[in-house]
Amino acid sequence: EAGVAQSPRYKIIEKRQSVAFWCNPISGHATLYWYQQILGQGPKLLIQFQNNGVVDDSQLPKDRFSAERLKGVDSTLKIQPAKLEDSAVYLCASSSAGQATEAFFGQGTRLTVV
């Protein structure tokens, strides 16, 4: 079974530029998560989808971050414009519906804003 796919693996941009990340979850998984992980810290949930609806986006900086999950399958996360403090690893995860289910993670996209 294929895992969660993310691209790109690495991205370097200048501040005020825009960037987009892509995630393809495990087939059949209804729930998709985007996390931001600052070096040495635990992942911080940015947005959680259930199929193509948003379950939680309370920690998504909506003035610059946006995410969509069209057709309830793959998802994109965009930052526009980027700030230096956005430098982090962006992790995508998916799980089948329901609590206590395992979240499967992709390898992440390491973003550096200079």
Partner 1 sequence: TQLLEQSPQFLSIQEGENLTVYCNSSSVFSSLQWYRQEPGEGPVLLVTVVTGGEVKKLKRLTFQFGDARKDSSLHITAAQPGDTGLYLCAAHFGNEKLTFGTGTRLTIIP
CB of 69 to partner 1, least distance (A): 16
| Separation of alpha carbons 28 and 30, rounded Å | 6
Evaluate whether 36 touches 44 at the Cβ level (below 8 Å).
yes
Buried b (16+ CB within 10 A) or exposed e, 8-23: eeebebeeeeebebeb
Does 46 help bind partner 1 (rule: CB under 8 A)? no
CB of 81 to partner 1, least distance (A): 25
- With contacts defined by CB under 8 A, name the span among 16-24, 44-52, 61-69, 72-80 that binds partner 1: 44-52
CA angle, 67 then 21 then 84, to 5° = 90
Which of 16, 28, 55, 114 touches partner 1 (CB under 8 A)?
A: 55
Q: Residue 89 Cβ, how far from partner 1 at the closest point, in Å?
A: 9
Would you count residue 43 as binding partner 1 (CB under 8 A)? yes
Residue ranges binding partner 1 (CB under 8 A): 4, 31, 33, 35, 40-45, 48, 50, 55-56, 91, 93, 95, 98-100, 102-108
